[in-house]
Amino acid sequence: MFEKHLMVCGATGCLASGSKDVTEVLEKELSDRGIRDKFRIVMAGCPGFCEVGPIIVVYPDEVFYCRLDPENIAEIVEQHFVNGEIVEKHLFKPPKSKEVKRFYDEIPFYSKQVFNVLRNSGRVNPESIDEYIMRGGYRALTRALDMKSEDIVEEVKTAGLRGRGGAGFPSGLKWKFTLQAPGTKKYIVCNADEGDPGAFMDRSILEGDPHAIIEGMLIAGLAIGSDEGYVYCRAEYPLAIQRLKMAIEQAEEYGLLGENILGSGYNYKLNIKEGAGAFVCGEETALLASIEGKRGVPRPRPPFPAQKGLWDYPTCINNVETFANVPLILRLGAEEYAKVGTENSKGTKVFALAGKVNNTGLVEVPMGITIKEIVYDVGGGIQKDRAFKAVQIGGPSGGCLPEDKLDLPVDYDSLTQAGAIMGSGGMIAMDEFTCMVDLARYFLSFTQNESCGKCTPCREGTKRMLEILERITEGEGKLEDLDTLRDLASSIKDSSLCGLGQTAPNPVLTTLRYFEHEYREHIEEKYCRSGICKELFEYAIDPESCNGCRACTKVCAVDAISGEKKEPHKIDVELCTKCGSCVDRCRQDAIKIIRVGSEADVQG
Amino acid sequence: MGVNGAVFYFIICGGETVERFIDPCCSECTHTQETPCSQFVDCCVNGPLCHESEECKQKRKAIMDRVALDSKFVIH
Ligand SMILES: Cc1cc2nc3c(=O)[nH]c(=O)nc-3n(C[C@H](O)[C@H](O)[C@H](O)COP(=O)(O)O)c2cc1C
Ligand SMILES: [Zn+2]
Ligand SMILES: [Zn+2]
């Protein structure tokens, strides 16, 4: 028996932040002391709190060590694993709090999270089918094997499951269409393209709990009468692909995949297709073309994939997270599953929480939670206690919501009404130092760049919009530009061939809707209040707040700041490159963003 | 598996080690890819289901005890 289980975050994110080195030292420390056998070290899935990685969670002690460095390991081994005393300084400590938090249940980041999809991430060895089975895995498949296709579809409908890949289409309905479509062969496809910048929800699920996807797809196959499926995964996810391959082999060996599954007569073959990771290849018709070996460009719908999909056969395509919900629905039953969430949005949603919040990482929250709860309770509020300005939800197809939408419940319909979308799970919190015009420019340049070029509105329209936004951020904007942007946006939305173009204007439209004053400031006053658009602001030091600590002078790469110690400093605007490092450094918040040429107002 | 684990297995299984759920607990268990048993999944956690044997039950329990993080880990 093992004395302790050491769950190390072995997901791509934590591996990058050093969890591999930590594990190597851990192995060595334990071996050197001759106690290696007493410990089980598992490279587990992501426990989500990437901000504080690398993480080791110790069981049965229930201790959450974070921000680890290889140098910390000897102490933990000696003090905790040998002498039985928890090393407090490596526990989690919320900002400005003196109290350390020992385990998940005390850490505020986890307090409002509900783990449905991430139920096994960080708790099981993702390379072990046995552990998946212990956690209730493949029980849903066993149940589904005894059910009629129609009843499985009905159960998913009753559960209220909606697609987690973007549009939120009711999954049960999609399954019903595919079941009813005539065809001698049918396919299930799992969309693991995950093209949104900064997104890693699907990667984490695949890396942390690959069997959940296999089981979800097997159940979908039973529901629509399919015997073959594809997981389309971007090639930049080698660990996800490796874990999935291993899981497929194990499932086949266990008789849970392949011919005559569990003696039922149900056959299922699961293939992996590696994609180049273009954003547009995440669009379902482009994705199917790519699996067929053609160029990954979208085609008009209808016909929808449910009627005419892969090689013209009826095809049910769902997102990774959508499939990960399915085993839970079939195991718990639709009613139990639907207890979490709102009237029209059931279950949970996984978000990659990023931006200016204190706690960034992967979070799973119940539908209906408010934006405020995500930003302030889960996210721990805005860094440095700065003011919240907006949250961007839904990535390049999504929108920006302002402070007065903080109480908005996160569900499909509320978000759409407010101009954003649930999307696949990107959520970026922004503070007063984010320029909303520049943000719109950033997202539009992403979609513009990723446009496949097949249809004119998307190819040319987004280019024109981008030119205008660039002009505005450079101080060359005109007031008429705002109407032009709105007109272009609506025609691109209406006439683009696929969802890429149809949603590309969203970041522009929502920032125009909620932050028109910032656009106007850029145009009329040539002023960027956030200090982002370089032509449209200057820095100046407020003599009242500056205590002359000289910290800023040391970080300024061009020596633009002068002044005696303990005397207010001054910035030479001619030399200043507006890199912003002095702002980050100043503890007094004495460095202000001012209008170009208005220096005299501040510096007297 | 560590030394302790091996000793443990020896005691409860009379020498035969069962490392994984797919390994048959005894000759009664016939589940393989080619000769599948419909009750296999449930049997891993709650079995054996097709025969009575405390020893076979303990073999399953040993697989679970080795990796269960806490009392809520195994879902029966
Ligand atoms: C430009 C574009 C990119 C997309 N990228 C993805 C993606 O990366 N992953 C995904 O699941 N869906 C993506 N979608 C949505 C898919 O077309 C499709 O709606 C989805 O896979 C359906 O699964 P769901 O109903 O489970 O959400 C994208 C759509 C568009 C228009
Ligand atoms: Zn700006
Ligand atoms: Zn037996």
* Dist. CA A509–CA A120, nearest whole Å: 39
Give burial (CB, 10 Å; 0-12/13-18/19+) of A585. Answer: middle
Which residues in chain A have Cβ-Cβ distances shorter than 8 Å to B66? 1-2, 40
Q: Does B15 score more than 60 pLDDT?
A: no
Helices (H), A366-450: 371-372, 412-417, 436-450
Give burial (CB, 10 Å; 0-12/13-18/19+) of B16. Answer: middle
Q: Does A275 score more than 70 pLDDT?
A: yes
What is the reported pLDDT for B9? Answer: 40
B65 vs A1, A7, A252: nearest CB: A1
Which residues in chain A have Cβ-Cβ distances shorter than 8 Å to B42? 139, 142
Number of domains in chain B: 1
Q: Does B13 score more than 60 pLDDT?
A: no
Mean pLDDT of the region A413-429: 94
Give the CA distances from residue A135 to residues A311, A361, B41, in Å, rounded to whole numbers and listed in that order.
Answer: 37, 24, 11
Whether the bond between A568 and the residue before it is cis, its omega within 30 degrees of 0, is no
CATH class of A537-603: alpha beta
Distance in angstroms between the alpha carbons of the first and the last residue of chain A: 74
Q: Does A15 score more than 90 pLDDT?
A: no
For B15, the token pair is: 């020498």
Which fold is adopted by the domain A436-524? Answer: de novo design (two linked rop proteins) (1.20.1440)
User: What would the pLDDT profile of A282-313 be if each residue is shown by its tens digit?
Assistant: 999 999 999 999 999 999 999 999 999 999 99
What is the reported pLDDT for A602? Answer: 56
A134 vs B3, B45, B70: nearest CB: B45
Whether the bond between A303 and the residue before it is cis, its omega within 30 degrees of 0, is yes
* B13 inside domain: no
Q: What percent of chain B has pLDDT over 90?
A: 75
What ipTM did this prediction achieve? 0.90
* Dist. CA A81–CA A83, nearest whole Å: 6
Give the pLDDT band of residue B1 (cuts 50, 70, 90).
very low
User: What would the pLDDT profile of A307-341 be if each residue is shown by its tens digit?
Assistant: 999 999 999 999 999 999 999 999 999 999 999 99
Q: Does A412 score more than 90 pLDDT?
A: yes
* B49 inside domain: yes
CB contact at 8 A, A122 and A44:
yes
Domain with B28, as residue range(s), is 21-76
To the nearest whole number, what is the mean pLDDT of chain A?
95
Whether the bond between A54 and the residue before it is cis, its omega within 30 degrees of 0, is yes
| Residue B16 touches partner A, C-beta closer than 8 Å | no
CB contact under 8 A, A134 and B74: yes
* B5 inside domain: no
Mean pLDDT of the region A254-273: 98
* Dist. CA A75–CA A425, nearest whole Å: 38
* B16 inside domain: no
* Dist. CA A596–CA A533, nearest whole Å: 11
Helices (H), A50-138: 73-75, 108-111, 129-134
Mean pLDDT of the region A239-264: 97
Give the pLDDT band of residue A601 (cuts 50, 70, 90).
low
Mean pLDDT of the region A93-109: 93
Give the pLDDT band of residue A557 (cuts 50, 70, 90).
very high
Q: Does B2 score more than 70 pLDDT?
A: no
CATH superfamily membership of A129-337: NADH-ubiquinone oxidoreductase 51kDa subunit (3.40.50.11540)
Element (H, E) at A6: strand A4-9
Give the pLDDT band of residue B8 (cuts 50, 70, 90).
very low
> Which amino acid is it at B53?
S
Q: What percent of chain A has pLDDT over 70?
A: 99
User: What would the pLDDT profile of A28-52 be if each residue is shown by its tens digit?
Assistant: 999 999 999 999 999 999 889 988 9
DSSP state of A460: I
The torsion angles phi and psi of A458, rounded to 5 degrees, stand at: -75, -45
CB contact at 8 A, A545 and A590:
yes
For A434, the token pair is: 């984010």
What is the reported pLDDT for B40? Answer: 98
* B36 inside domain: yes
- The CATH number for A4-107, chosen from 2.40.50.140, 3.40.30.10, 3.40.50.1580, 3.40.50.300, is 3.40.30.10
Q: How far is the CA of A283 from the centre of ligand 1 (A)?
A: 5
Strands ordered across the beta sheet of A399-402: A361-366, A348-355, A426-431, A388-393, A399-402
Q: What residue ranges do the domains of chain A occupy?
A: 4-107, 129-337, 348-431, 436-524, 537-603
Mean pLDDT of the region A527-556: 95
Residues 6+ apart with CB under 8 A from A100: A88, A89, A91, A92, A93
The β-bridge relationship of strands A315-319 and A187-192 is: parallel
Which residues in chain B have Cβ-Cβ distances shorter than 8 Å to A129? 21
Optimal mutation site among A115, A134, A147, interface B, most CBs of chain B within 10 A: A134
The torsion angles phi and psi of A6, rounded to 5 degrees, stand at: -110, 105
pTM assigned to the model: 0.94
User: What would the pLDDT profile of A449-467 be if each residue is shown by its tens digit?
Assistant: 999 999 999 999 999 999 9
Helices (H), A92-160: 108-111, 129-134, 139-145, 149-159
Q: Does A565 score more than 60 pLDDT?
A: yes
Q: How far is the CA of B17 from the centre of ligand 3 (A)?
A: 13
* Dist. CA B42–CA B49, nearest whole Å: 8
Any atom of ligand 1 within 6 Å of the Cβ of A177: no
Q: How far is the CA of A545 from the centre of ligand 3 (A)?
A: 78
Which fold is adopted by the domain A348-431? Answer: Ubiquitin-like (UB roll) (3.10.20)
Q: E strands within A99-241?
A: 187-192, 228-234
Q: Does B4 score more than 80 pLDDT?
A: no
CB contact at 8 A, A502 and A280:
no
For A405, other C-beta atoms within 10 Å of its C-beta total: 20
Q: How far is the CA of A517 from the centre of ligand 2 (A)?
A: 11
* B33 inside domain: yes
What is the reported pLDDT for A356? Answer: 96
CB contact under 8 A, A262 and B73: no
What is the reported pLDDT for A549? Answer: 94
* B45 inside domain: yes
